[in-house]
A and B are shown apart, each in its own frame.
Chain A
Amino acid sequence: MNHRGGFALIKATWFSWMQYRSFFFVLAFGWMIPPLVALFVWSAAAGEGSLGGFTRGEFITYYLVLVLVNQITYAQVNWTVGDIIREGTLNHWLLKPLSAIYQALSSELAGKVVYLIFVIPVGLLLAILLKPEIQTTPINFVLSLVATLFAWGLRFAWGFWLAILAFWITRADSFLALQDSLVFIFSGMVAPIPLLQGSLQQIANILPFRYMVGFPVEILVYDLSNKAILFGFLMQLTWLAIAVLLSRTLWVKGIRHYSAVGG
């Protein structure tokens, strides 16, 4: 693998992205809105009292952290890789002496930095305005960081295998839209997972989506038991392994298919 080339590419991509930062700020703004709406809804619902065991301040904390985690883990590679396969730009990738995953990773990392330049100040501003309440331990903080990292890997790999379905299916982006709906319900975005009713909560615990967004937030904001944290990490790593395996297999098969059909 050509690592130096990879880093150069990441740097170059980042510079070119800064050129279009207003474009990415707008995208980042768009992704912030659904959790913010949920924040307003739940804090209005909690009023001065509490709801399902959570106070207004706790809802605010939960969602502000969620906005941040959602932004860090959001895998836009979902959309770009599919377009690249459909439009035939993939040929440029394949002609370079560089593993294609670098192309995906470079836009991913470059994007992350630009988005965070926007989201962190906005998040801080909201925190000052809305006064969240937070109490957490250093251990939980570290665990939450680790979980965020895994969450990002999981969301990236998961998005990647869905995106490369574009090799076979012309409208693979519909799967991505389906995924976004599932993420919205089951990742802790529309409501914190502990507030989901009965079977919905059980489904959320099994599906991978909670481990892409909600889980790291819960570690930080809620007092999860050790057992719950351990279960969470196990689920997260299992799904991560599945997603990586799927991505690799489908990529190899996809490239073979692509060269056979000729794009």
Chain B
Amino acid sequence: MRYLKLIKVFIKTSAQETLMYRANFWVSLLHAFLNLIVAVLALVILFGQTENLNGWNLSSTLSLLGVYLIVSAIRNLFIGPSLEALVGLGQEVWNGQFDFTLLRPVNTQFLITFRIWRLFSLIDLFLGGAVLLYSIFQTPQSPNLLAWLLFLLALVAGILILYAILLAFTALVFWNPGYLFTWVFDAIFQLARYPLGIYPVGVRIFLTWIIPVGVITTIPAQVISGQTGAPIVFLILAASVFLFLFASWLFNKGIKQYHSASS
């Protein structure tokens, strides 16, 4: 309850910080639409040349795009900005402001996960949802309630995996503030715009087992278009919980390292 209240305060404060720069609203709106147009245009150009991309047609690829936009919007809403405040040159771990975070009588992992919100990402979230719904209404038979439920589970698992990867990479900063794995991850995450199946075998293995970016978007999109079912969903749900636990463990280990490191 206390933590929910804290989240509320963080959201409120972030909103306030955002409102300090009012022009940003229009800029973000512009960016959101631009991103959407670019992404859709890319697919239209592609499917103008071919009808079928390794079993994916325009509408199922659009669903995937919708999932991708939703997942990235949630990442940009709070996970990304909160974690990014730690990583990189001149950021908290580097300049020692992280000390203040550690002195707070609140769970540190909670604090670094939820404290900064970029509310403009709600626009992207909305647009992503719209793309997803549009693509689903394009297909002849719409998914039933069970499919929607499985889809939601798969989406949650995907977001949890994304969070776990980002948290684990963030934790590495405690060993060396020069590590920029979260940035590398951001680059790799762009590969999740397209179905896992289009990539060469090596890349596919990498995106499934090493840095499971492909799983995050491809499986929810497959679930909603009926290409895959419950067993896979529960499998990635289990995997996501495991990854979450591992990342939390690594993060706490990182804090220990910070406590014993030279100032």
Please list the residues of chain A having a beta carbon within 8 angstroms of any beta carbon in chain B. 20, 22-23, 26-27, 29-30, 32-34, 37, 40-42, 44-45, 51-52, 170-171, 174, 177-178, 181, 184-185, 190-191, 195-197, 200
Q: Judging by beta carbons under 8 Å apart, are B187 and A29 in contact?
A: yes
Convert B150-187 into 0s and 1s, putting 1 for each residue whose CB lies closer than 8 angstroms to a CB of A: 00000000000000000000000000001010011011
Please list the residues of chain B having a beta carbon within 8 angstroms of any beta carbon in chain A. 21, 23-24, 27, 30-31, 34-35, 37-38, 41-42, 44-46, 48-50, 53-54, 89, 178, 180, 183-184, 186-188, 190-191, 193-194, 198-200, 203
Q: Judging by beta carbons under 8 Å apart, are B30 and A185 in contact?
A: no
Q: Judging by beta carbons under 8 Å apart, are B30 and A178 in contact?
A: yes
Q: Judging by beta carbons under 8 Å apart, are B198 and A29 in contact?
A: no
Main secondary structure of the interface of A (DSSP, over half): helix
Residue of A41, A191, A195 near B198 (CB, 8 A) is A41
**Total residue contacts A-B, CB cutoff 8 A:** 88
Residues of A within 8 A of B193 (CB): 37
Residue of B41, B199, B200, B203 near A190 (CB, 8 A) is B41
What's the least CB distance linking A76 to chain B, in Å?
A: 15
Given A40-B194, A174-B30, A191–B45 Cβ distance below 8 Å? yes
Given A177-B34, A196-B45, A33–B180 Cβ distance below 8 Å? no
Residues of B within 8 A of A40 (CB): 194, 198-200, 203
Q: Judging by beta carbons under 8 Å apart, are A23 and B89 in contact?
A: yes
Closest to B33 in A: A181
Q: Judging by beta carbons under 8 Å apart, are B27 and A171 in contact?
A: yes
Q: Judging by beta carbons under 8 Å apart, are A181 and B45 in contact?
A: no
Closest to A200 in B: B45
What's the least CB distance linking A127 to chain B, in Å?
A: 14
Question: Could you show 6 A-B contacts with beta carbons less than 8 Å apart?
Answer: A26-B187, A41-B194, A45-B198, A52-B49, A171-B21, A197-B48
Q: Judging by beta carbons under 8 Å apart, are B45 and A195 in contact?
A: yes
Residues of B within 8 A of A22 (CB): 178, 180
Closest to B193 in A: A37
What's the least CB distance linking A263 to chain B, in Å?
A: 18
Given A41-B46, A171-B23, A178-B34, A26–B184 Cβ distance below 8 Å? yes
Residues of A within 8 A of B38 (CB): 181, 184-185, 190
Q: Judging by beta carbons under 8 Å apart, are A37 and B190 in contact?
A: yes
Residues of B within 8 A of A34 (CB): 190
Q: Judging by beta carbons under 8 Å apart, are A190 and B187 in contact?
A: no
Residue of B27, B35, B187 near A33 (CB, 8 A) is B187
What's the least CB distance linking B70 to chain A, in Å?
A: 19
Given A174-B27, A174-B30, A44–B190 Cβ distance below 8 Å? no
Given A171-B21, A177-B31, A45–B50 Cβ distance below 8 Å? yes
Residues of B within 8 A of A27 (CB): 183
Q: Judging by beta carbons under 8 Å apart, are A26 and B180 in contact?
A: yes
Residues of B within 8 A of A32 (CB): 187
What's the least CB distance linking A99 to chain B, in Å?
A: 28
Q: Judging by beta carbons under 8 Å apart, are B23 and A170 in contact?
A: yes
What's the least CB distance linking A22 to chain B, in Å?
A: 6
Residue of B24, B34, B184 near A29 (CB, 8 A) is B184
Q: Once bound together, how far apart are the Cα atoms of A60 and B54, in whole Å? A: 18
Q: Judging by beta carbons under 8 Å apart, are B50 and A33 in contact?
A: no
Q: Judging by beta carbons under 8 Å apart, are A44 and B191 in contact?
A: no
Closest to A46 in B: B50
Residues of A within 8 A of B53 (CB): 41, 44-45
Q: Judging by beta carbons under 8 Å apart, are B180 and A45 in contact?
A: no
Q: Judging by beta carbons under 8 Å apart, are A51 and B31 in contact?
A: no
Q: Once bound together, how far apart are the Cα atoms of A178 and B35, in whole Å? A: 9
What's the least CB distance linking A83 to chain B, in Å?
A: 12
What's the least CB distance linking B83 to chain A, in Å?
A: 16
Residues of B within 8 A of A42 (CB): 46
Residues of B within 8 A of A185 (CB): 38, 41-42
Q: Once bound together, how far apart are the Cα atoms of A45 and B30, in whole Å? A: 31
Beyond A32-B187, A195-B49, 15 additional contacts (C-beta under 8 Å) are A22-B178, A26-B180, A26-B183, A26-B184, A29-B187, A37-B191, A41-B198, A45-B198, A178-B34, A181-B34, A184-B38, A191-B42, A191-B46, A196-B45, A197-B44
Residue of B24, B27, B183 near A30 (CB, 8 A) is B183
